């Protein structure tokens, strides 16, 4: 069976799926066709069920939980992993709601965490996550919500942290931050879902056996990123929850889902069925 598999070109995702898509592990009768895209593109594609298996921001999973079911492996979830709100010069927190803020997509966890911390922000400008630093530096926007490797590089470009949106979440809710997950089409059935979960776990094990070496596949898609930044990225976002959500991870997702639905008046998602 050939399955389309969508994930981002960021080091944490390419690290997780390297062995899976490059013949490093046995996958039985399953074959995977990788599709690498920005997570907001993957979020948008989920609306039409374009891919069989896909990385999604949790708000996108909630919106499409009738079509896709959550896998218990491959997630980006933890403490101290949240997006940062940055600016060219320091901004008083009460002024944030009056600012023009770049976000890495409307359906991203980052956008919801901005809403959670600063619910009165009126002007949000969706753009590709990798363009946000430049937009702030050029003055096209006042502030930007940064994710992925930009967490490790923004200071080198003279930018300043206004708020750690993940830290705000953790202080308010006492739970880890669910950033992104891997989901599979419900129509593929329980048995295929279990096979895919097992393959993703084995792929992670294979990658960790060679770490801290950075594979050509990870380097290829990280482009000009320094290897030390790649390792920081992997070590932050690929953690014990990535191998298996466990009870703590599931509790964090339940907390996020509850607050998400309460804040936005959205229907409760199907998560554990």
57 is in an annotated binding site: yes
The CA–CA distances, whole Å, from 74 to 8, 77, 197, 249 equal 12, 9, 8, 12
Give, rounded to a whole angstrom, the gap between the first and last alpha carbons of the chain.
23
175 is in an annotated binding site: no
Determine the Cα–Cα distance for residues 6 and 218; give it in Å rounded to an integer: 15
Could you tell me the strand order of the sheet in which 84-87 lies?
Answer: 123-126, 100-103, 143-146, 84-87, 160-164
Question: Active-site residue numbers?
Answer: 148
Cα 11 vs. chain centroid, distance in angstroms?
Answer: 12
The CA–CA distances, whole Å, from 199 to 1, 79, 204, 245 equal 14, 26, 9, 16
109 is in an annotated binding site: yes
Closest by Cα among 1, 71, 15 to 207: 15
5 is in an annotated binding site: no
Maximum pairwise Cα distance, the chain: 56
56 is in an annotated binding site: yes
Annotated binding-site residue numbers for substrate:
55-57, 109-110
Residues tagged in the binding site annotation:
55-57, 109-110
């Amino acid at each position: 069976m050939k399955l389309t598999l969508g994930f981002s070109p960021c080091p944490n995702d390419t690290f997780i799926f390297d062995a899976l898509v490059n013949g490093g592990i046995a996958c039985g009768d399953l074959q995977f066709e990788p599709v690498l895209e920005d997570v907001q593109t993957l979020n948008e594609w989920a609306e039409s069920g374009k891919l069989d298996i896909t990385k999604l921001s949790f708000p996108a999973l909630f919106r499409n939980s009738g079509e896709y079911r959550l896998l218990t492996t491959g997630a980006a979830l933890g403490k101290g992993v949240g997006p940062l709100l940055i600016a060219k010069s320091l901004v008083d927190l009460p002024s944030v709601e009056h600012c023009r803020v770049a976000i890495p997509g409307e359906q991203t966890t980052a956008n919801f965490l901005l809403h959670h911390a600063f619910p009165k922000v009126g002007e949000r400008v969706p753009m590709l996550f990798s363009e946000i630093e430049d937009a702030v530096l050029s003055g096209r926007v006042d502030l930007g919500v940064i994710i992925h490797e930009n967490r490790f590089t923004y200071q080198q470009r003279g930018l300043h942290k206004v708020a750690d949106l993940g830290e705000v979440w953790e202080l308010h809710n006492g739970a880890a931050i669910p950033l992104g997950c891997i989901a599979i089409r419900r129509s593929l059935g329980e048995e295929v879902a279990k096979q895919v979960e097992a393959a993703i776990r084995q792929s992670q094990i294979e990658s960790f056996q060679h770490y801290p070496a950075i594979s050509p596949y990870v380097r290829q898609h990280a482009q000009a990123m320094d290897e030390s930044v790649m390792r920081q990225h992997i070590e932050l976002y690929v953690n014990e929850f990535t191998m298996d959500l466990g009870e703590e991870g599931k509790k964090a997702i339940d907390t996020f889902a509850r607050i998400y639905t309460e804040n936005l008046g959205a229907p409760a998602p199907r998560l554990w069925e």
